[in-house]
Chain A
Amino acid sequence: MSVVAFDLLEAASLSATNLGPLWVADTMKTKMIAFAAALYSEFPESAKNNAPIANWLAVIGAFAPTIQDFVQDTQGLTTAGVNTIATFESSCDYVYRICKFAYYYTLITSDQKDAILAAYNAQFT
């Protein structure tokens, strides 16, 4: 059961809680792609202080399409299930880190922080 996060620190700590059901439902890949896509325009290269968040978005954006389906890998070479638990763990890790960093980072605006939290709750809860 997903839990709406009230701030980015809570969002970070709830990453596994909220991504777990999406993983099982095979919607995590779509949601992760949408989460990053919703934020690209919020952190343009023109503002130097956006760089750390933009860098996380680059990592998540490049990674998200590799997320594997939930299907259990019992064959060793199935295309769908290989590394499914690894891509779930990486998804939780990246979401945790961008949210936690954004919570403490002081060089972006509160509107930008709100945008990350809104994208998180829109996609993951």
Chain B
Amino acid sequence: MSYPQPDADLYAINGYSFFRLNTTLTTDGDIYQSAQGTHAFALGPDSDISRVAIGYFDKQVDRYMDQFMLTADRPFLGSIAAQNDAQYAPSNVPGRVLFWPDELYNPTWRPTDWDTAEVRVDFVAPVIDIIQYFSPVPVNNGQRNNKAYHYDRLPFSNTIEFYYLVIPFYGRRYASIKFGNQIPGVNISGLDVYGLNYRPTSNPTGAPEDSGRLMETVPSSGVINSGSFYATVIKASTYGMFDALAIRIIPGVPTLSVASKISLDIITSDREDG
């Protein structure tokens, strides 16, 4: 997000029963605050981030900061007072509530076949969506919405040998990926799906590194013919869990452009049955 962040005070003053921080991450070092106390925290329905660390003032712990992890599995129900007249030790920062993503996001990731001229990588930046409730409310459902991505055009050019689309997959357990080749008379060489786990040690210069786990190759037998659709499903019980999915498309022909009729539909879910 662009800082300064929205002020939770204004939501309380204006009679809202909650403060919602719903924004794309600038970096995985983003940290947010609220000077308002709360009756509950929950991940919002649109959050890509599945784990958010919450730090709050607690007079009974050393240096007065306690933490818990807010996840997509359940909300945190319980009153927390933001104690702005007290201070964390030894920093003397006022005892406001702090929250930050506990997961990593690294748009400098580059695949092992990286080549500046022939490979393009597009990232869908993850959204962090947190709701802080100001009054007692029943919060029964901490589940996130399914996310749907639909692209009718992809940024191909005649120099692109490999195209990567990287989408958030934090805590997700299911993805449906459908690729359509509607280019008359042109076959597409293939599509691969990789699972990525970002690391703090990622190379900031964008040098190639771990391409992640190859989970699916579509089609396994050859090209995606003109007029064909290919679909695949990724499940956590089969492949494990990842921070992101990197979908690699291999055009295989030099004549594609952004106008080429290719469609890509992706749905991700927290539930393995979609």
Q: A residues within 8 Å of B by Cβ?
A: 9-10, 12-17, 36-37, 40, 45, 48-49, 51-52, 54-59, 61-63, 65-66, 92-93, 96-107
Alpha-carbon distance between A55 and B67 when the two chains are bound, in angstroms: 13
Return the contact of A57 from the options B29, B93, B201, B202 (Cβ within 8 A): B93
A105 B89 Cβ-Cβ under 8 A: no
Q: Which residues of B contact A61 (CB under 8 A)?
A: 63, 88-91
Name B92's closest neighbour in chain A (CB-CB).
A40
**CB-contact partner of B89 in A15, A54, A62, under 8 A:** A62
Q: Contact check, A96 vs B29: say whether CB atoms are below 8 A apart.
A: yes
Q: Report chain B residues within 8 Å CB of A98.
A: 29
- Nearest B residue to A9 via CB reads B204
Decide if B208 is an interface residue (CB 8 Å cutoff).
no
* Other-chain contact of A58, B3, B65, B203 (Cβ < 8 Å): B65
CB neighbours of B91 from chain A (8 A): 36, 40, 54, 57-58, 61-62
Cα A117 to Cα B31 with chains together (Å): 19
Task: Give min CB distance, B56 to chain A, whole Å.
Answer: 11
Q: How far is the CA of A71 from the CA of B98 in the complex (A)?
A: 32
A36 to B89, CA, bound (A): 11
Q: A36-B91, A40-B92 are in contact. Are A97 and B4 (CB under 8 A)?
A: no
Q: Which residue of B lies closest to A56 (CB)?
A: B31
Which positions 87-104 of chain B face chain A at CB distance < 8 Å?
88-94, 98, 100
* B142 on the A face (CB < 8 A): no
Closest to A15 in B: B200
Question: Is residue B24 within 8 Å, beta carbon to beta carbon, of the partner chain?
Answer: no
A45 near B93 with CB under 8 A, answer: yes
Chain A residues in 8 Å Cβ range of B28: 97, 100
Q: Whose C-beta in chain A lies nearest to the C-beta of B65?
A: A62
A93 to B93, CA, bound (A): 20
**17 pairs from A and B in contact (CB 8 Å cutoff):** A12-B204, A13-B203, A40-B90, A49-B3, A49-B4, A51-B4, A52-B32, A52-B33, A58-B88, A61-B89, A62-B88, A62-B91, A63-B65, A92-B200, A100-B29, A101-B31, A104-B29
* A17→B93 CA distance, assembly (Å): 29
The 8 Å CB contact of A59, one of B3, B55, B92, is B55
Return A12 CB to nearest CB of chain B, in Å. Answer: 7
B273 contacts partner chain A, Cβ-Cβ < 8 Å: no
- A101 to B91 Cα, complex, angstroms: 19
| B64 interface hit (Cβ, 8 Å) | yes
Asked whether any CB of chain A lies closer than 8 Å to the CB of B210, the reply is no
The answer, yes or no, to whether B135 is at the interface (CB within 8 Å) is: no
Q: A97 contacts B204, CB within 8 Å? A: no
Q: How far is the CA of A100 from the CA of B28 in the complex (A)?
A: 8
Cβ contacts under 8 Å, A45 to chain B:
92-94
The answer to whether B27 and A100 touch across the interface, beta carbons within 8 angstroms, is yes
New contact pairs (18) apart from A51-B4, A57-B91, CB-CB < 8 Å: A10-B204, A12-B204, A15-B200, A16-B201, A45-B93, A49-B4, A52-B32, A54-B91, A55-B31, A59-B55, A59-B100, A61-B91, A62-B64, A65-B63, A99-B29, A101-B29, A102-B29, A107-B4
Contacts of A59 in B (CB 8 A): 31, 55, 65, 98, 100
User: In the complex, are the beta carbons of B3 and A107 less than 8 A apart?
Assistant: yes
Cα-based distance from A9 to B27 in the complex (angstroms) = 11
B60 CB to closest chain A CB (Å) equals: 13
User: Quick one: given A12-B200, A13-B203, A59-B55, are A54 and B26 in contact (CB under 8 Å)?
Assistant: no
